[in-house]
A = this chain, B = another copy of it.
Amino acid sequence: VRTLVPALLAALLTAAPTLARPDTPGAIIARAPNSDWQAVDPNDLLVIDMARGRVVIQLAPGFAPVHVANIRALARAHWYDGLSIERVQDDYVVQWGDPGGRKVLPKTVVQPAPAEYERAAAGLKLEVLPWRDTFADVAGFSGGWPVAESLGKAWLTHCYSMVGAGRDNNPDTGTGAELYAVIGHAPRPLDRNIAVVGRVLGGMDLLSALPRGGGELGVYSRVQLIPIRRVRLAADLPAAERPAYEVLRTDSDTFRAWYQLKANRQDSFFLHPAGAIDVCSILPPLRSHNPPPLAPSPAKR
């Protein structure tokens, strides 16, 4: 239940007779059978440890296979270790990588050609939302991912918490060495112009609350840079440090019932059920087991 005076609402709900209590999105998720949950492959989980906590990103090899291969190679080469969060622009993105752009990439890391901004819609099983999308013919979900589709092409949508590969001006297509996460209203005009490579599953609240950068476009000054201590694939971490995530299957009846109720809320707070919901308001729910991140560094940060 997501309302604005939670204590009082909780009291009211508790006081109401059980039979009169309307269904809620949270209750639907709580009832989901285990078979509706899909474990994320630990080779698709990128784990970023910083002094202030851990960020975990699910990679999207079905949409950006070359970028994801690059990101896995960079993590396995420990290439990201010691880089920085370098930009936080309000209502837009947090970005991290090599602020000077001078760190040499491993030879195996290449720019994708063609660019991975979109893919063929053919072969994607899409759960199509029955409501209008402003930017595409249809929007929906495929394999847990938010997708828009027009004229035979499909692409991941730039929703809050989605991760993309920074790039220089066209014709640069990026490599995955610079990454950003969306921390504001969905900047959908970036769709089909940058490769979306994943979604933040854990630590989003850490990224979104970072101080906004004082420079143009939110770029951090040298003293603002926030060091990244270690970036690994979950598959390469010792078992005791390895996070595990499950994403609700977007082809399940549970997911369909959940987003229909998000569009048509029945609890008494809502007088005018919206009758619709947009793709970026219903990223699939998660379950996680996230062990404590790296022990705090003895060095003062």
Contacts and interface: CB of A to CB of B under 8 A. Distances in A.
Interface of A: 1-10, 12, 87-93, 95, 101, 115, 117, 131-135, 159-161, 164, 166-170, 178, 180, 183-189, 191-194, 204-205, 208-212, 216-217, 219, 262-263, 265, 268-278, 280-281
Contact of A133 (B134, B178, B191, B281): B134
Contacts of A191: 272, 274
Contact of A2 (B92, B188, B275): B92
Contacts of A93: 4
10 contacts: A3-B169, A3-B217, A8-B169, A10-B216, A12-B168, A115-B271, A117-B272, A132-B132, A132-B133, A184-B185
A189 B277 contact: yes
A269 B134 contact: no
A76 B278 CA distance: 40
A217 B161 CA distance: 18
Given A90-B205, A187-B281, A192-B272, 6 more contacts: A2-B92, A4-B164, A115-B271, A169-B268, A170-B270, A188-B274
Q: How many copies does the complex hold?
A: 2
Given A93-B4, A185-B159, A219-B7, A170 B271 contact: yes
Given A91-B161, A209-B209, A274-B135, A263 B189 contact: yes
A260 to B, nearest CB: 12
Contact of A169 (B159, B167, B187, B269): B269
Contacts of A7: 219
A269 to B, nearest CB: 5
Contact of A166 (B4, B133, B186): B4
8 interchain residue pairs of minimum CB distance:
A192-B272, A189-B274, A4-B166, A205-B212, A6-B217, A160-B185, A90-B205, A132-B132
A160 B281 CA distance: 13
Contacts of A275: 135
A180 B212 contact: no
A120 to B, nearest CB: 15
B160 A184 contact: yes
Q: Which of A4, A211, A217 has the most CB of B within 10 A?
A: A4
Contacts of A280: 185
